[in-house]
Amino acid sequence: MSSARIVLISGIASGQGKTTITAALARKLIKQGLRVRVFKTGPDYLDPMILQRASGAEVYALDLWMVGLDDCRRLLAQAAAEVDVILIEGVMGLYDGDPSSADLARAFGVPVVVVLDAAKMAQTVGAVVLGLQQYGPVELAGVIVNRVASASHARQITQGIRGVPLLATLPKLQASLPERHLGLVQPDEIAQVDQILDQLADQIDLDMDAWNSIAPVMLDDSLAAVKAPQFLAGKNIAIARDAAFAFVYHANLECLRASGAQLQFFSPLKDEPVPADADAVYIPGGYPELHCATLSAAQHWQDSMRDAYAKDIPILAECGGMMVVADTLTDAQGKIWPMVGLLKGEVVMQKKLAGLGMQALATDKGELRGHAFHYSILNTDAAPVAQTIKRSNGAQGEAVYKQRALTATYFHAYFSSCPAAMASIFSKGELD
C-alpha cells in the first residue's frame, strides 16, 4: 500500500479558478519542501501545461472511462509512492459529466476541496458548499475561496460556512493566466509565467493546520503495470512538437515507447523536415491556426510531408495535424493559407465550437477512446472510412479519413485505451 495526502479540487462550474488555485497550491506546497504531483480530470492539454509548470512534474489525465479504472489506480498509486501530496484538478462542475469528478473522487476515496469564486457573494458561499457536499454526497475536506475583496469580505464568507474548514483564500489578482478560444494560453507564451505562479503561491492564504488535518489516502499499489506487446519494436516515429502542435498526452508518448517505438521530435514552425529515418509520422493537435503564415512558408517541412506520403509512410494527422495536411487553412480573420495538401479539402476556422466531448472509435483491434474539441470545420469531398461514436448519446462523432497511409481525423485518441489499434495506424497506416 502507498499513501499521500490527496484532494480533488472542484467547484460548481468552469471559470471558478480551479486551475489557478491548483497551480498556486502546488507551488506553495513545493516551496514548503513537500513533494507534489498534479493530475487533471478528463481530456485536457492546456491546463496540464500550466500545472506542469507550477509543479515541475508531468501531469497525467485521470478519467474512469477514457483512461480506465485500473490505469487511474495505477497512476495514483505510483505517484503516492513517490510524493507527499497529490492534487487532482476536476473538470467543469463537481457532478458534471458521466463519469464526473465526484465519481472519480468516490472511486478512490479521495476527499474534495471546493473552489468558489466569491466575487459577487459572501455568506451565500456556505449554502453553495452545503449543496455540493450533500448532493452526491461527497467527502468534503474544505473550501478555497477565490477573488476575495478584503478582510471584511473574508470574515463574511467564513460566517456563512458551516462545518467545513476554510482551507485558503486567494484575493483578486492584478495578474492572471490568460486564455484564448481553446482554453488557457500555453505557458511558454506567457511573459514571466514563473513570476506569476510564484505570486499566486505567495498570495494564497493557506491554513496549514486545516490542510494538515486532511487524512492521507491509502492506495493499493499491487496492480503492476501490464507489459505492452512490442507492436512497434524497431520503429522510429517522428512527432511534430512545437507551439503549433503541443496537444499530446504524456501517456500517449509512454504508450508508444512501451510498444517498442523510438521517438524523434521535430518542429514544423522551425521548418524542420520529417526525419529521414522515420518509419511513421505523428502530427498531433495544437494551435496551427495561430501560426498559419509560418507553417504555410515552411517549405522544407511541407516537402518532407509530401515525400513521406508518397513513400506510404504511415501518418497520423490528429485535429490540428489534420488542419495542416488539408489543401488550405482559413484563419479566424478569413485569410486563406496554402497547406501541405495531402487531404483534399479546406479547413475553416469558426467562432463557435464545432466539436466537443468524449468519443470512441471501433476497430477490429478493439475500441480506441478519446475526445474531440475544435472550432474549425473540414470541407472535403473525401468519404470517411470510419466515424467515432459520442459517449454522451451514441450519435456519430468525428469522421476518420484514410488516404494511402495517411489517417486524418479531429478525434484525439488516448492510445493506452487500445494499444493494438494505435499500433496498427503507425505500423501500417490502417485502422484494421
Q: ∠136-142-143 over CA atoms, to 5°?
A: 95
Among candidate residues 209, 85, 77, 199, the one with its CA nearest the CA of residue 142? 209
Grid cell listed for 179: 486564455
DSSP H or E segment with residue 407 = strand 406-409
d(CA 256, CA 263): 8
* Residue from 77, 360, 428, 424 nearest 229 by CA: 424
Q: Which amino acid is at 137?
A: P
List active site positions.
Answer: 319
CA gap 276, 304 in Å, rounded: 9
Determine how β-strand 326-330 pairs with β-strand 336-338.
Answer: antiparallel
Residue 416's identity, in one-letter code, is S
Cell of 72: 487511474
What CA–CA distance (Å, rounded) separates 369 from 365?
12
Full DSSP string of 314-339: -EEEETHHHHHHEEEEE-TTS-EEE-
Beta bridge partners of residue 140, listed in sequence order: 112
Measure the CA–CA gap between 42 and 371, rounded to whole angstroms.
9
The C-alpha atoms of residue 229 and residue 238 are separated, in whole angstroms, by: 20
* CA atoms of 283 and 120, how far apart (whole Å): 44
Q: Which residue has the cell 512527432?
A: 239
Dihedral through CA 275, CA 278, CA 283, CA 287, nearest 10?
A: -20
Q: How large is the angle between the packed helices 193-203 and 18-31, nearest 10 degrees? A: 80
Q: Which of 50, 31, 47, 21 is nearest to 194 (CA)?
A: 50
Residue 149: count other Cβ atoms within 10 Å of its Cβ: 13
Residue with cell 491554513: 207
Q: What are phi and psi of 412, to 5 degrees?
A: -95, 110
Q: What is the largest CA-CA distance in the chain?
A: 69
